[in-house]
Chains A and B, each alone.
Chain A
Amino acid sequence: MNKDEIITLLKDWRVALLIILVVASIIAINPHFENGEFTTNLQYGLDLQKGAWLQLEFKSEVVGFQTDKPTDEFIASLKNQTDAEIFLVGDKLEIRKLYTQAELTPIFEKAGGKITSYQQGVSKTTADDVKRILESKINSLGTRDARINTLTGLDGVTRYIRVELAGVTMSEAQQVVGKQGKFEIRIATTGNQSEHVIFGDSITGVGNPTQEPPGSGKWGVSFTLNEDGAKAFQAAAIQYGAVSDPDNHQLQMLLDGKIIYSAPLSKELAGNLQQEVVRQLVASTGAGTTGQQAAQTLEIHLRNGALPVDVTVAGSGSVSATLGDHFKLMCLLAGILALITVGIVVYYRYREPAIVLPMVCINASEIIILLGISVFTIQLDLATIAGLIAVLGTGIDQLIIITDEILHEGKVPSPNIYQKRLSRALGIIVASAATVVIAMLPLALMDLSSLRGFAIITILGVLIGVTITRPAYGRIIMAILSK
């Protein structure tokens, strides 16, 4: 091939696109040395770097029901019988205590209704709450690389939540998830001084953020104090002047010694406190989205970092830094060795470096592009790497189909016949690519945690192959064979 031919080849959009993508991918992966160590932008899952994961299962259920009674009355009756927190979510009930369907059936009957569906887990809203609480707990511990995923089924019920923490050991991860903050309420006295009122353990219940009064657009969180806490609250409010002069003696809420909320008593509450012990309080946080977000954060803090629903550990795992690095090295070795052996097999067949070299290069470029995309989309774990190597295998298969098809019965003649043969090959390739995509789709959509990355990388690999690398190979091999 002379210089002109190479330039024409490079100007072909299929070839140019491939080269641009490879270069862009290398930039995205950004292999470089940092503090004398080789590093890239690739994101690793918990197989390949130090970290721990916990799969938590909600001890709660979402139950469909039918009743002739007014819904409020029905729920109240259920609450009396079960002593559980029960919320109406859409047209179903979220019962925040684990009962089997058999246990619930008589309770529902007694309340004057029946169960129409039963699913262990919580509603999407509650699951998002839990996710937020866990995130805030992890954030409060400093910058850690954390991922929290709720696994919501097609029926909208979330049964599991998965927490992945990079850089920590299992026991650290368990502590993080189980850790509760130290919550305290104080009253401002003079200057910067304040006096202790109660600790978080006096709070017995915390409501979800609501508009107070409803529809006003002003957000707040209701919370309940126990008998002793309420007495202490009343005594302190009177003693330190919060009742007589609310504006100068604000109530402060502290989490781990930091003030997170500060507000005066309302006139009405100040008046009431002079007469009686008040157990039910509302902390208002303002209007609009800001007010709502503040209310959500406050709710988490009021709960002391405790989750609204009990959870059990359904699964867990951890990898040490040493083993993570070891696996990383092994994956790299496996990939390189796979590429080499595939190259040898193909060489054994065609005995023609002009065919084999482009094949192997195209194959490698496919892997590079996939890795480039993965920087923005998925973390690499062991299963994903296996998927990458499988893509390498199917990729070379399809290059073989193209090569054999074009070489069929001799050398490539006119571009016309060449095109016909190439499109015939692409017909086979598209059909088999479609089957692979369809076969992997369920895995990519369902959440089998560790296999999702594998399925996504396989699908991406096939798509890139069909749309980018195969057409480019077709063009390159034509230039080489027709010389």
Chain B
Amino acid sequence: MTNATGTIYSPGCNYYDMGFTYDVNRYTPKQMVIIPLILLVLALISIGITMAQTGLPVKPGIDFSGGTAVTVFTTDSSEQISAYFAGYPLVGIEEGINNGKYLTFSNMPDAQFRALSDLIMARYPDAKVDQIGEAFGKTLQSQAVLALIFSFIGMAIVVFITFRTFVPSAAVVLSALADILMTAGAMNVLGIPLTLPTTAALLMLIGYSVDSDILLTMRTLKRQGKLDEKLAGAFHTGIIMTTTAIAAAAAMWVVSWFGQVQVINLIATVLLIGLAFDILNTWLTNAGIIKWYVTKKGGPMLTGGFTPKQETKKKGGK
């Protein structure tokens, strides 16, 4: 790869490359969208399988399926803990460093929970206990799904109002959707459950992902200049944006992993996965579609050509 990004900037300001050598102008739109497309199909398969098994796109955690979560700091081994809670539906023990343990129990009757609660307090008086009933979990679950759907629709409306042309707006919405679907697929593969915190993280991703997409679209559509230069410029800014977001999420991840703060750790994990996919979807999917759209509309046709059938007649205003 000869053409590193960042070099188009004139001297006079101190720019340094981030070490990425991806050249957003090197590939044809068709080549660009192929990788995300394959990943999207894989994600959909993973989501489909989980959907068939649990009725939800991602396996629900205790917030939605009901159950009890316990955070403790103890030197007891997993075996000792299992033995101590014999007779209770203990389904998982996660161990962090620092002796932090995160236990999950499945649903149990009220009386049994009270007994468990006493048992926990007797041995681990400093524990954090959270219990969600099955019916309450169902209510939370339907609300969370509604929130995700409303958020997404709201975001799409804002994007369409901003750009007022179909293909660029659809490209932004599509790459945000791909972000969320790929992240959901990855959550299934990694065994990260859908809980209130991870729902929050997915919603946060909508915001982060649209950020760089809007930058890309604004820069390429609403500005004079050569497409190649505009794309490279947008990539130059966009990649650093996502990198800082990743840096913030990574800091959260490290501290929460070290300190066994499950809620923040889950949010950070989902954000990290989602932001990684966001780089892909912004600079391959969205950039690919925008490139195809701009070249098809006016400028000389480059090599290849990505022409989805339903959009061949759509011209759209500037």
Chain A contacts to B: CB under 8 angstroms: 47, 55, 57, 159-160, 169-171, 174, 312-323, 326-327, 329-331, 333-334, 337-338, 340-342, 344-346, 348-352, 382-383, 385-387, 389-390, 392-394, 396-398, 400-401, 404-405, 407-411, 424, 427-428, 431-432, 434-436, 438-443, 446-448, 450-451, 454-455, 458
Which residues from 107 to 151 on chain B have a C-beta closer than 8 Å to any C-beta of chain A? Answer: 110, 114, 117-118, 121, 125-133, 135-137, 139-140, 143-144, 146-147, 150-151
> In chain B, what residue has the closest Cβ to A322?
B126
A155 to B133, CA, bound (A): 23
- Number of residues of chain B lying within 8 A (CB) of chain A: 85
The 8 Å CB contact of B261, one of A327, A345, A438, A446, is A327
Residues of B within 8 A of A312 (CB): 110, 133
Q: Digitize B50-86: 1 where CB-to-A-CB distance is under 8 Å, 0 elsewhere.
A: 0000000000000000000001010000000000000
A427 to B223, CA, bound (A): 12
The 8 Å CB contact of A345, one of B121, B155, B244, is B244
A315 to B129, CA, bound (A): 11
> In chain A, what residue has the closest Cβ to B266?
A386
Residue with the greatest number of chain B CB neighbours at <10 A, chosen from A333, A387, A435: A435
A341-B264 in contact (CB<8A): no
**In the complex with contacts A435-B206, A448-B147, A410-B136 CB distance below 8 A:** no
A434-B129 in contact (CB<8A): no
Closest Cβ of chain A to B275, distance in Å, is 9
A334 to B265, CA, bound (A): 11
Q: Can you pick out 22 interface pairs between chain A and chain B where the beta carbons lie within 8 Å of each other?
A: A55-B136, A159-B139, A160-B136, A171-B121, A315-B130, A317-B130, A320-B126, A330-B259, A345-B244, A348-B16, A383-B200, A389-B249, A390-B208, A393-B248, A410-B13, A427-B222, A435-B158, A436-B206, A436-B207, A439-B155, A448-B144, A448-B147
Tell me which of B37-45, B209-217, B287-295 binds A.
Answer: B209-217
Residue B250 lies at the interface, judged by CB distance under 8 Å to chain A:
yes
B263-A386 in contact (CB<8A): yes
A396 to B308, CA, bound (A): 36
**In the complex with contacts A57-B135, A327-B261, A454-B12 CB distance below 8 A:** no
A393-B136 in contact (CB<8A): no
Which residues from 157 to 205 on chain B have a C-beta closer than 8 Å to any C-beta of chain A? Answer: 157-159, 162, 196-197, 199-201, 203-204
Closest Cβ of chain A to B276, distance in Å, is 14
The 8 Å CB contact of B245, one of A171, A352, A397, is A397
Residue B240 lies at the interface, judged by CB distance under 8 Å to chain A:
yes
A350-B248 in contact (CB<8A): no
A315-B128 in contact (CB<8A): no
Residue B18 lies at the interface, judged by CB distance under 8 Å to chain A:
yes
**In the complex with contacts A401-B237, A407-B13, A438-B196 CB distance below 8 A:** no
The 8 Å CB contact of B128, one of A323, A346, A387, is A323
**In the complex with contacts A314-B135, A349-B18, A431-B125 CB distance below 8 A:** no
B210-A432 in contact (CB<8A): yes
Closest Cβ of chain A to B264, distance in Å, is 5
B12-A410 in contact (CB<8A): yes
Closest Cβ of chain A to B165, distance in Å, is 14
Closest Cβ of chain B to A158, distance in Å, is 12
Residues of A within 8 A of B256 (CB): 330, 334
**In the complex with contacts A170-B117, A446-B147, A427-B218 CB distance below 8 A:** yes
Taking A330-B255, A455-B203 as given, write out 14 further A-B residue pairs in contact, using a Cβ cutoff of 8 Å, ordered by the A residue number: A170-B121, A315-B137, A317-B128, A321-B126, A323-B127, A341-B251, A350-B15, A393-B244, A394-B207, A394-B245, A396-B244, A435-B207, A438-B155, A443-B147
